[in-house]
Amino acid sequence: MTTFERFPTDRDGPRDECGVFGVYAPGHDVSRLAYFALYALQHRGQESAGIATCEGGHITTLRDAGLVSQVFDEEKLRALEGDMAIGHVRYSTTGGGSWENAQPVWRDDGREVALAHNGNLTNAVELWGELKERGIAFRGTSDSEIIAALLSSHGGKLIEDAVEEVMPRLEGAYSTVVMTKHAIVAFRDPHGIRPLSLGRLGERFVVASESCAFDIIGAELMREVHPGELVSLTERGLETRQVVKGVRRSTCVFEHIYFSRPDSRMDGVVLQQARGRMGEILWREAPVDADLVISVPDSGNPAAAGFARASGLPRDDGLIKNRYVARTFIQPGQELRKHGLRLKFNPLPEIVAGQRIVVVDDSIVRGNTTRQIVGMLRKAGAREVHMRISAPPIRNPCHYGVDMSTREEMIAHGRTVEEIADELDADSLAYLSMEGVYEAIGSGPEDHCDACFSGHYPLGDPEEANGKFALEEIAVVPAS
């Protein structure tokens, strides 16, 4: 299938996972609040978007493939009235990118629920088999539907009681928001792998993957939802339960490096500043004789600023990004292919020609984009191109909700840093150390997952069988 093959992918790096949102606010325009919150979380997933609202005991769900601004218009938002809402933006992790896997998931196996989930269950296959045995049928192939089915079919009177019993059965990463006819309930896995924050909107409460979703709707960040905690937003206000205690915290360190927006706050730190410190430490660890620092926009900007600050080197924009390109499904054709399509970045010869350039980026996964950038800069006249990366080499896949490619596709797999530099045709290449990352965020490995860099999976290395498309494979094979 070539006609709809994507060219090029919007990013050669790790793909963001999903973003979730929930608000309980009678008297407010909850669908509009959800719309703008999702708009702020768009970087976490661009394949589909959805909002579910509840009014007078009736849940309405609207979801579709595309960006938030493509899926919703005034008319659709007006149809989504209610006292509470949840929302989701998705980049497919478990389950393919098909429409059935768009969220919020809606189910009624005894209790009507709409659910939005960010993460990846590592025991999805086992739970799916168990539910199938109980006669529960599935529409899609996502692990989020499994959580929805477990909660929907649970006999407990309160959704909070259902969550309390279901949570210990779930393994892996799950920052989840569920809506019933009476409540919004949000819960985070006991390791706190994916982010989830709690905010206040006047007298009411909101939850979201990142605090940037609160800023846009005028809500205030209160705190993060604790790992293993359940928060319930109802007419009574805010109630919380610590469902699972005493488990090692393993927050995703990559959220600090790249995934989350730089204006979001995590562990009390605004990420723009933490990333700036990563750039400063990168200079300390890997200085280089050069004339000019440039970034790979936009995600490399904060670290490039830090690198320039610490080195005293001038910084300029040597690569201009087309900000209006998300994804194109149109093939470039032979003529443009020959020309070397500069769809996403355009180098400025007037800035880079004759210069020894340091290019700062946040990560390299497969290396295709980096190789292209080095080539473009050389063609634009750069005398030397030195790559500096504000994260360690990525050598392992993520099992907790981020699409990172397979080990074999990763440029750092089985290569030394010198060999990677050769592959990229860079004059030099250096990565920030893991210690440098932790110094920048003011924390340590004891509280984080850094498995894609270190290979140490905090929950153990899950079987390949529970990989990205495990449920799809099972779903098409008839049970024997």
Interaction site with ligand SF4 (CB under 6 A): 193, 252-254, 398, 400, 402, 449-452
Q: Which of 1, 62, 52, 63 is nearest to 24 (CA)?
A: 52
Nearest residue (CB) to ligand SF4, 252 versus 266: 252
Q: How far is the CB of 229 from ligand SF4 (least distance, A)?
A: 19
Beta strand ranges found along 196-246 (DSSP E): 197-201, 204-208, 220-224, 229-234, 237-242
Nearest residue (CB) to ligand SF4, 191 versus 378: 191
Q: How far is the CB of 424 from ligand SF4 (least distance, A)?
A: 22
Q: How far is the CB of 25 from ligand SF4 (least distance, A)?
A: 31
Nearest residue (CB) to ligand SF4, 18 versus 398: 398
Contact call for residues 216 and 36 (beta carbons, < 8 A): yes
Is residue 18 among the annotated active site residues?
yes
SS3 content of the chain, % helix, strand, coil (to 5): 30, 25, 40
Residue 469 phi, psi (nearest 5): -110, 20
Nearest residue (CB) to ligand SF4, 230 versus 402: 402
Contact call for residues 208 and 159 (beta carbons, < 8 A): no
> CA neighbours within 13 Å on the CB side: how many for 206?
34
Contact call for residues 369 and 377 (beta carbons, < 8 A): no
Q: How far is the CB of 393 from ligand SF4 (least distance, A)?
A: 12
Q: How far is the CB of 357 from ligand SF4 (least distance, A)?
A: 29
Contact call for residues 377 and 150 (beta carbons, < 8 A): no
Q: Which of 447, 462, 445 is nearest to 398 (CA)?
A: 462
Q: Which residues contact 168 (CB under 8 A, 6 or more apart)?
A: 243, 244
Strand partners, 177: 116, 186
Q: How far is the CB of 352 from ligand SF4 (least distance, A)?
A: 32
Contact call for residues 25 and 200 (beta carbons, < 8 A): no
Cα–Cα distances in angstroms (integers) from residue 175 to residues 144, 162, 344, 417, in the given order: 10, 16, 32, 35
Strand partners, 84: 24, 54
Nearest residue (CB) to ligand SF4, 253 versus 380: 253
Nearest residue (CB) to ligand SF4, 387 versus 402: 402
| Active site amino acids | 18
